[in-house]
Amino acid sequence: MDSTEQIYAQVREHYSSASRTAAPKYGESVAKSFGYSEDELSNIPEDANLGLSCGNPLAITSLKEGETVIDLGSGAGFDIFLASTKIGSSGRAIGVDINDEMLARAEKIKASRGSSVSNVTFIKGNITSVPLPDVTADLIISNCVINLVPYEEKNLVFKEMYRLLKPGGRVAVSDILAKKPLPDQLRKDVAMYVGCIAGAAEVADYQNWFREAGFKDSVITDTQADLNVYLDTNEDGTKKSGDCCGPVAAVSACDGGDEAKKATPSCSSATTDSSDMGRTNLNEFVGSYKIFAVKD
């Protein structure tokens, strides 16, 4: 990838396209593979689940009635609608996203749910500079979004989390991190970047950014989840037949597909040419991590 501006432009384009997709069974299958229960999914509007998660941040810590939770990169509202069921009418669930089309989809879903989601608010903002006052949140969550921020600006997200949290407030993040330095060929691949792979930082980076922001400690754990689920799952939620073992399958799955298929992670997480990188098992280089920290 090239400049910061070009990265943001590519991410906006991809997720604008994703906001127009509708593959609920695919989204359900992906969510279950990352730890969402049947009960949790029943409490989330189906149209909010676009199959973009890489973990379940709300399973990392608990929410109490009356608390305020902020979701950085809330998309169509998948996690923030779930959070709203845990905090009661006196709590606040705030979704932050930079993409106008994602926000429009989230607002449409909110309107369809009426008073049951009256504690939910969506605001437009970059997660490196959130338009909310200091000391607002009891909990900050994020699901597979920080890796999309250009490397040079990722540290700003951690500073924002510290600024926004109340004393004793928690961070619960699910994200894709690199297990080792990524090859240049992968780092420069646009499809791999918008698919949350090429922009992955390493665990040591996250630990340093937490410390620099003011957090004394952080716990970062590899969940051992299989990231090839994006590629191994059909649009109807069933597992693809045959020996499907990673991005090698993406060439045939995505080449020539319609816009909805091209916008799904199964297509965005791999190149669509015959390069060696397109035949690489994602789990070799990156993993799904759960990340927790507390502001003293």
Q: Which one, of 219, 226, 173, lies nearest residue 32 by Cα?
A: 226
Give me 176's structure tokens. 């894709």
Tens of pLDDT, residues 162-209: 999 999 999 999 999 999 999 988 888 999 999 999 999 999 999 999
Residue 54 above 60 pLDDT? yes
CB 225 within 8 A of CB 55: yes
Mean pLDDT over 128-150 rounds to 98
> In the chain, what percentage of residues exceed pLDDT 70?
86
Report which DSSP code applies to 120.
Answer: E
> What b/e readout covers 133-156, taking b as 16+ CB neighbours within 10 angstroms?
eeebbbbbbbbbbbbbbbeeebbb
Mean pLDDT over 236-264 rounds to 49
pLDDT at 1: 54
Mean pLDDT over 53-73 rounds to 98
Alpha helices (H) in 94-135, listed in sequence order: 100-113
Confidence class of residue 241 from pLDDT cuts 50, 70 and 90? confident
The region, left, alpha or beta by phi > 0 then psi within -120 to 50, assigned to residue 35 is left
Confidence class of residue 280 from pLDDT cuts 50, 70 and 90? low
Residue 275 above 60 pLDDT? no
Q: Which one, of 166, 164, 170, 161, lies nearest residue 63 by Cα?
A: 170
pTM for the whole thing? 0.88
pLDDT at 242: 59
Q: How far apart, in Å, are the Cα atoms of 37 and each of 34, 40, 111, 204?
A: 9, 5, 25, 31
- Report the mean per-residue pLDDT for the chain: 88
pLDDT at 292: 98
Angle between helices 203-213 and 154-164 (to 10 degrees): 40
> In the chain, what percentage of residues exceed pLDDT 90?
80
Residue 129 above 50 pLDDT? yes
Confidence class of residue 70 from pLDDT cuts 50, 70 and 90? very high
Tens of pLDDT, residues 153-163: 999 999 999 99
Confidence class of residue 266 from pLDDT cuts 50, 70 and 90? very low
Residue 273 above 90 pLDDT? no
Mean pLDDT over 48-68 rounds to 97
Residue 56 above 80 pLDDT? yes
Mean pLDDT over 101-130 rounds to 97
User: Among positive and negative, which fits the CA dihedral 113, 115, 120, 124?
Assistant: positive
Give me 217's structure tokens. 């400690």
Alpha helices (H) in the chain, listed in sequence order: 4-18, 24-33, 38-42, 78-87, 100-113, 154-164, 184-187, 190-194, 203-213, 229-232, 250-254, 259-263, 265-268, 282-285
CB 95 within 8 A of CB 68: no
pLDDT at 32: 97
Residue 289 above 80 pLDDT? yes
